[in-house]
Structures are given as structure tokens and as C-alpha cells.
Amino acid sequence: MTSSIILRIVPFMGSVLALIMSVIFILMIGKKSRGNKRMQEISDAIFLGSRAYLTQQAKIMLLFFIVIEVLLFAMVKFKFLQYASLLAFATGGGFSLLIGYIGMWISTKTNSKVTQAAKDKGLGEAMNIAFTAASATGLLLGVVALFDTSFWFNILYWWYGRGTSDLISNLDNVVNILVTFTIGASFAAFFMRTGGGIFTKAADMGADYVGKVESGLREDDYRNPATIADNVGDNVGDVGGMMADSLESWVGAIISAEFLGFLAFKGSTLIINSILLPILISTTGVIASITAMFFIKIIVRRYKQNASVSLLTTTTLSGLLITSVIIIILTFFTTRFVMGIENIRIFYSCIGGIFAGFLIGLFTLIYTDSKYRPTRNIAESANSGPGTLVVNGLAYGMESTILPALTVIGAMIFSFYIAGGSSDLRIGLYSVAISAVAMLSVSPFVIAIDVYGPIADNSGGIAEMAELGPEVRKTTDKLDAVGNTTAAIGKGILIGSAAITAIALGQAYFSKIETLNIKLIIDFMKDPKILAGLFIGVIMPYLFTSLLIGAVGRAANKVVIEARKQIKDVIAGKSKGDPKAFITIVTKAAQKGIILPGILVFLIPVIVGLLLGPGGVVALIIGTLLSGFAQAIFMANSGGAMDNAKKKIEEEGRSGTPEHAASVVGDTVGDPLKDTAGPSMNILIKLISVVSIETAVLVITLSGKIFH
């Protein structure tokens, strides 16, 4: 057990390392010029708008959190949970909010610096600044993920572990508390990502339609006061929300692996190590990400002025490859040291997971990058009008679900059979969860290449609003193009890992029920309740998408009405416009839009549990996962491809043509799909799973009292 102390300390060291590096990155860009006064003003307006939104969102989150804490307290009182759960829930949510806020702070403080660099020093330096800021953000994720999971584990280890046998007999409680922690993170992610998604798209759609289509202004024209809200949206949705989302995925994967490890190695001396392994694999991810970040910085510095879009894209992709390879190498030694050579098969599943993530990222690229056939075809179909273009975009989006689904299936079956198979069921399941952890250990790097997109987008907005001329805008557009490509890959990895995490969480739920000595046979051909659960699961994504997109539509309508009023006055020179009005409109809309989904996501697992029993809940989890995965990819890629089709037409200098108008319609349709509903599927899938796990004992007890 001495090695166990070292093992327990390593993740803390990883967390501290990530923190130090993050601070260094922040300092590196701290002194860069924020540009002229106008640029600073715009940047400040974006920051203030983002802060106003997040503060407002934090308030309603707090309200929800208090309600949930009360419910949790009741559950504690009735002995369904431990007191520590209350704190775990709060830290899960609190940390998520915290890094979302810091991420937003970094990105809004960097955007005008990137614009200035683009103006003075060209693409290379602009990329350098944007990527450094994004790296700082990505590493923050590592700080929290490692600290959080190992903090709780150590606390509980110490609390229960004064005698080791006590610890093991209480591991069930430990895992319970960890799951509550995940719920906190998931719930915060739900608020930030989904609320942010509504915010950003309502602002975007409204600003674009009135500004570009009705008033003939350019994107981000300074005369369109709704533009600030649009830029705020990038920061709250694509930075803050994205971080919360990733944190929840990563932590969810770690904790489901811990749960399944606990079950797989019950009675073995490896039990503690099997629970620590996912945190240790995650630690290798932080180390690998830092290495890759430096690699990119070196390349970018070397090329500076001569940097091109394709060079930068290749560099970022190489960075991802480097991260993956380092994780694989380190994981090999970690697994060997922690679990012994006889369990090295668990390591193979990591290769499977990482490879699958990479593949899904690649498929996303093929379906959304204008270099490839799908997006090119969509752009061409603009010739037959917006209707045909949208149909085409939706069709390619649907097609794009096939390969990622087959990849997830392949990764799952590979991990399962390589490690245990049906003869060693529990270890097989543990390995599936571990493969998700490996896939997600790339997260710090993925967040870096992901967050970098909205920063580039913002810097372009500032260039436009500050009227820095077409050359600067062209440079920031290139930066944006690199960002779009890499963000697409990042999104692919996130979705893929969410699917495998959810499978693991489903397994965790199932196993939790079995620990209650309830034998479940999840045979949907013998029990229509299972079929019913699956069916409800399959339609969940439809329900949530309609709720979220509906909220975007309503909010966009309000933005349109306000923008028509304001733009008229601004163009007539009667006023300077009131950007804050838009921020207030969309903030309210975002809050209103998530209340019902937020309540439903808690109620539905409980109701399904009461009506259909625990088997129905397992089916609900799986149904939501399968359908949500398909919907998530469909929506992300339809939207991404239509966005890039529009950009392609713009790059060809065809702005203002009917084809361009058609592509703008496509982009408008795709936007809420890819930026509101699509990313929320991730969260929906996992939230349904963790809420089910958390309420399992409660539901079973209740249904026992009601029906028997």
C-alpha cells in the first residue's frame, strides 16, 4: 500500500503542473497590446456582456442548486445518500462554473490582442496569441478534473480508510459521493452549455438576419448593435459552455470507470489501484497536452509571417497526434505499474479508445471541411436555391452519423473483448469505461484547439467593428478557418467519448441495481417495459432538441424586432445603439429556455423508474444514448458543413449573389442545430445516466412502497 500513497499524490502533482503552465501561458500574453481605444472598448463591452450573462446565469443556477441540495438533503435524511454528497454536488457544480468563468475571462481579454497582432504582425503571431490563451484555458480543465477527482477520492480514502477493510466495505458510499459530484458538474454544464447555446444562437440568428439580410450590412458591422451580443455568445457558449461540457464528460468517464473498477476488482488487492487508474491515465493526458502545446508554439513561432491556413491546420492536427501518442506510451507504463503485467489488456482498450476518438474527429473533418465532397456539394447546391441547399445539408448530416457510430461500436466491442469478454464480464465493462477515459484524456489539448476558434471569431468581430480594414479581417478569417477545422475534430472526440462514457454509466447504473440484490434481465423481447424504456429514450433527444431550438427561435424573433428598431436609428444617425438591450433579451431567453429541460432531465428518470422499474431506466439510458449520439452528430455536422459551405462561397468572392443568400439560409438553419441542440445531446445523455444512478435506490424503494 505504499505505492498507493505515491499513486494518490501523482494526480495532485499533475494538477499543480497544469496550473503552473496555465499561469505561465497567461503571463506570456499578458503584456501584448490590446490595440487602439476603439478595439479596447469593444473588447471590454464583450467582456462586460459575458460577465453579465454568466452572473445572471449563476443566479438561476444557484436557485436550482439550492432546490437540488434540499432534495439531496432529504435523501440523506432517509439514508439514501451520505452527507458528503451535499458538498460533492456543490463542488462539482462550483468548479465547473469557476473554470467556465475563468475561460470566458481569458478569451475576452485576449480577443483584441489577437486582432492587434493580426494587424501588426500577421497570421503567425495572431495564431500564437490565440493558441496560447486557448492552451491556458485547456490546461485549467486539467487542473480541475485532476484535482477534483483525486481530492474527493483522497478525502474519502482518509475518512473511511483508517482501516483499509473499512474503506473497502465503504467503497460503495465513496462511489455514491463521486457520482453526486458528477451530477453537480453535469448540471452546471447543462446550464452553461445549453443556456450558452441558446444565448449565442439567438443573438447570432437575430443579428445576422436583420443586419445582413434586411439591412445589407456586413457581418459584425459596427452599425449593428446586436453584434456585441453575438460576440458575447461565442464566449459564453463556445468557451464557458464548452469547458463545463468537457469537464463533465471527463469527470463522468473517470467516475464511471472507478465505479466499474470497484465492481470488477471487488475482493482483489487491486481494488484501490483500479479506482486510481482512470485518474492516473488522465494525468498522462495533462502531460501529453502540455508537450503538444509547446510543439505547436515552436512551429508557429518559426513560421510567423509565412504561416498559412493549411500549415496551421496540419500543425494542430500533428499536435493532436502527438498528444495521443504520448498518452498511449505513458498509459502503457502506468497500467503496467498500477495493475500489473497480467492486466495489461486493459491498456489495449486505451489504444482503442484514443484511436476511435481520433477517427471520429477525422470523419467530422471530412463531413464539414470545404476541402471534401460533402461541403463542396452543399455549396454547389446553392445554385438551386436555399431549399435544396438545406435539404442537402441535412442529408449529409444524416449520412455523417454512420461511420462514427460504427467506430463507437467497434471501440466498445474491441475494449470489451480484448480485456475480458463475456467470460470476464466485469473487467470487460471496466475496460470499456477506461477506453472512454483515455479518449477524454486528450481533453486539455482538445479544449485548446476548440476554444481557439471563438477567440479567432471574436478577433475578427473586433477587426470589423473597429473598422481596421479588409486586410486585417482577411487574416482573422484565416485564423477562424483553422479554428473551425480543429473545433470540428474536437467536437467529434467529445461526442464519441460521451457515447462510450454513457455506455459505462449505463453499466454503472445496472451494476448499482445488482448490488441491491435485484436481478435484472434487460430483455426487450420478453418485457414490454424494457421496450417502452428504450422507446422513451430514443425520443428524448427529439424532445430536448425541440425545446432548445424552440427557445432559440423565440429569442431570435425578439432580437429581430429589437434590432430592426435600433439599426434603423443607428443608420439614420439618431442613436449609437444599445448593445446591452440585446444581451438582456437573450440572457432572459436563455434562462427561460433551460428551465423546463432542466426540470425534465431530473423528473423523467424518476418517472420512468416508478412506472417501468429499474429495467426501464436502463433501457431509457441506452435509448437516450443511441438516439442522442446519432442526433448529436447529425446536427453538429449538418450545421458545420452548411456554415463552411457559406464560408466557401464567401471566399470565392460571391458574397451578395443569390447563391450566397441561399448559403446564409443554410447557415441560419444549421446554427442552432450545431451550437445549441447538438452539444446539449452530450449533456442530456450523461445527465440522464447520472440522475438515474443517483435516484436508483430512492426509486426502487418508492416503487416498492407504491406498487406493493
Cβ distance 664 to 379 under 8 Å? no
Identify which range of 64-72, 164-172, 403-411, 456-464 contacts a second copy by CB under 8 A. 403-411
Identify which range of 276-284, 350-358, 531-539, 649-657 contacts a second copy by CB under 8 A. 531-539
Q: Does 409 bind a second copy (CB under 8 A)?
A: yes
Q: Does 277 bind a second copy (CB under 8 A)?
A: no
Number of other residues whose CB lies within 10 A of the CB of residue 37? 9
Three cell numbers, residue 460: 475578427
For a second copy, the closer of residues 46 and 427 by Cβ is 427
For a second copy, the closer of residues 340 and 387 by Cβ is 387
For a second copy, the closer of residues 124 and 537 by Cβ is 537
Residue 466 DSSP SS3: coil
For a second copy, the closer of residues 89 and 396 by Cβ is 396
For a second copy, the closer of residues 211 and 454 by Cβ is 211
553-557: long-range pairs with CB below 8 Å, 24+? 553/672, 554/589, 554/593, 555/198, 555/202, 555/206, 555/585, 555/586, 555/589, 555/590, 555/593, 556/201, 556/202, 556/205, 556/206, 556/209, 557/206
Taking the complex as a whole, the smallest distance from the CB of residue 227 to a second copy amounts, in Å, to 17
Taking the complex as a whole, the smallest distance from the CB of residue 482 to a second copy amounts, in Å, to 26
Three cell numbers, residue 218: 456586413
Query: Measured between alpha carbons, how far is 460 from 219 in angstroms, rounded to an integer?
Result: 10
Residue type (1 letter), 513: I
Three cell numbers, residue 601: 432531465
Query: Measured between alpha carbons, how far is 574 from 577 in angstroms, rounded to an integer?
Result: 9
List 163, 216, 341, 521, residue binding a second copy (CB under 8 A): 521
Taking the complex as a whole, the smallest distance from the CB of residue 455 to a second copy amounts, in Å, to 26
For a second copy, the closer of residues 119 and 345 by Cβ is 345
Residue of 566, 592, 540 lying closest to 198 (CA atoms): 592
Taking the complex as a whole, the smallest distance from the CB of residue 534 to a second copy amounts, in Å, to 6
Q: Name the region of 52 (left: φ>0; alpha: ψ -120 to 50; beta: rest).
A: alpha
Using CB under 8 A as the binding rule, the residues of this chain from 620 to 639 that contact a second copy are 622-623, 626-627, 629-630, 634
543-548-550-553 Cα dihedral, nearest 10 degrees: -160
Q: Does 348 bind a second copy (CB under 8 A)?
A: no
Q: Does 396 bind a second copy (CB under 8 A)?
A: yes
Residue of 19, 26, 24 lying closest to 129 (CA atoms): 26
For a second copy, the closer of residues 187 and 510 by Cβ is 510
Q: Does 280 bind a second copy (CB under 8 A)?
A: no
For a second copy, the closer of residues 18 and 360 by Cβ is 360
Q: One symbol per residue from 210 to 249: x for binding a second copy (CB under 8 A), - otherwise; what is it?
A: ---x------------------------------------
Tell me how many residues contact a second copy (CB under 8 A).
84
Q: Does 542 bind a second copy (CB under 8 A)?
A: yes
Using CB under 8 A as the binding rule, the residues of this chain from 552 to 571 that contact a second copy are 552-553, 556-557, 560
Query: Measured between alpha carbons, how far is 270 from 216 in angstroms, rounded to an integer?
Result: 66
List 520, 586, 604, 617, residue binding a second copy (CB under 8 A): 520
Q: Measuring CA to CA, how many Å separate 43 from each of 39, 292, 455, 479?
A: 6, 29, 11, 18
Using CB under 8 A as the binding rule, the residues of this chain from 479 to 508 that contact a second copy are 503, 506-507
Residue type (1 letter), 383: N
List 274, 644, 668, 680, residue binding a second copy (CB under 8 A): 668
Residue 13 DSSP SS3: helix
Residue of 611, 638, 635 lying closest to 535 (CA atoms): 611
List 120, 467, 471, 523, residue binding a second copy (CB under 8 A): 523
> Residue 59: CB partners within 8 Å, gap ≥ 6?
none
Q: Does 549 bind a second copy (CB under 8 A)?
A: yes
Q: Does 425 bind a second copy (CB under 8 A)?
A: yes
Cβ distance 389 to 382 under 8 Å? yes
Residue of 559, 527, 535 lying closest to 623 (CA atoms): 535
Q: Does 539 bind a second copy (CB under 8 A)?
A: yes
List 162, 526, 705, 708, residue binding a second copy (CB under 8 A): 526
List 39, 669, 681, 683, residue binding a second copy (CB under 8 A): 669
Q: One symbol per residue from 56 to 75: x for binding a second copy (CB under 8 A), - otherwise; what is it?
A: --------------------
Quickly tell me which residue has 481605444 as its cell. Answer: 37
Identify which range of 248-256, 337-345, 416-424, 586-594 contacts a second copy by CB under 8 A. 416-424
List 322, 538, 589, 649, residue binding a second copy (CB under 8 A): 538
For a second copy, the closer of residues 394 and 455 by Cβ is 394
Cβ distance 96 to 88 under 8 Å? no
For a second copy, the closer of residues 117 and 432 by Cβ is 432
Taking the complex as a whole, the smallest distance from the CB of residue 346 to a second copy amounts, in Å, to 16
Cβ distance 199 to 589 under 8 Å? yes
Quickly tell me which residue has 486557448 as its cell. Answer: 134
Q: Does 664 bind a second copy (CB under 8 A)?
A: yes
Number of other residues whose CB lies within 10 A of the CB of residue 592? 15
Identify which range of 8-16, 103-111, 545-553, 586-594 contacts a second copy by CB under 8 A. 545-553
Taking the complex as a whole, the smallest distance from the CB of residue 528 to a second copy amounts, in Å, to 5
List 28, 328, 535, 569, residue binding a second copy (CB under 8 A): 535
Q: Does 534 bind a second copy (CB under 8 A)?
A: yes
Residue of 107, 177, 126 lying closest to 476 (CA atoms): 126
Residue type (1 letter), 563: A
Taking the complex as a whole, the smallest distance from the CB of residue 416 to a second copy amounts, in Å, to 5
Q: Does 689 bind a second copy (CB under 8 A)?
A: no
Q: Does 413 bind a second copy (CB under 8 A)?
A: yes
Three cell numbers, residue 285: 493526458
Q: Does 546 bind a second copy (CB under 8 A)?
A: yes
Query: Measured between alpha carbons, how far is 586 from 592 in angstroms, rounded to an integer?
Result: 10
Residue of 453, 460, 451 lying closest to 117 (CA atoms): 460
- CA atoms lying within 13 Å on the CB side of residue 334: 28
Using CB under 8 A as the binding rule, the residues of this chain from 561 to 620 that contact a second copy are 618
Taking the complex as a whole, the smallest distance from the CB of residue 551 to a second copy amounts, in Å, to 9
Taking the complex as a whole, the smallest distance from the CB of residue 433 to a second copy amounts, in Å, to 13
Taking the complex as a whole, the smallest distance from the CB of residue 544 to a second copy amounts, in Å, to 9
List 128, 545, 587, 689, residue binding a second copy (CB under 8 A): 545
Three cell numbers, residue 34: 490590446
Three cell numbers, residue 52: 453579465
- The DSSP letter of residue 306 is G
Q: Does 416 bind a second copy (CB under 8 A)?
A: yes
- The DSSP letter of residue 331 is H
**N- to C-terminal Cα separation, the chain:** 47
For a second copy, the closer of residues 394 and 465 by Cβ is 394
Quickly tell me which residue has 441491491 as its cell. Answer: 516
For a second copy, the closer of residues 97 and 418 by Cβ is 418
Q: One symbol per residue from 359 to 388: x for binding a second copy (CB under 8 A), - otherwise; what is it?
A: ----------------------x-xxxxxx
